[in-house]
Amino acid sequence: MRAFVVDSSVAAKRLPPLNNEPLASEARALLTDWTRGKIELSVPDLLLIEVANVLWKAPRSRRCKPTEARAALKILISYRLPSMKRQLHDGTFKRLKPTLRTQILTFATLKAQ
């Protein structure tokens, strides 16, 4: 089974109100495959905090209403995505990729596919 590490840029695109942005359909498909048991997913420890920050800023930039941002965070929490139990940053992702035997998915890697 293929395994992926998903960062906040991918996870956020799965959520309304950000699910109409570029590559949102790929993010939705990834989560659907995970819920159906077709792939394994894990996320960095701080993913919820990072996405919460994006959602906190979204009403300020008129991308959504505050109530929509709160609802989106509740949706993300309900997924109960498995944590890697360590925080990884982009540079660390690249160094760990050969040892993790997983594909690292960031917005940049989704865009490149």
Cα 113 from Cα 106, distance rounded (Å) = 11
Per-state percent for the chain, helix, strand, coil, to nearest 5 = 50, 10, 35
**pLDDT tens, per residue, the chain with 113 residues:** 888 888 888 888 888 887 788 888 888 898 899 999 999 888 888 889 999 999 999 999 998 899 999 999 999 999 888 887 654 555 555 555 555 566 666 666 666 66
Global pTM value: 0.70
Question: Residue 40 is part of which domain span?
Answer: 3-112
> What domain count does the chain have?
1
DSSP 43: B
Residue 67 is part of a domain; what is its CATH number? 3.40.50.1010
Cα 51 from Cα 54, distance rounded (Å) = 5
Q: How far is CA 12 from the centre of its chain?
A: 5
pLDDT of residue 59: 92
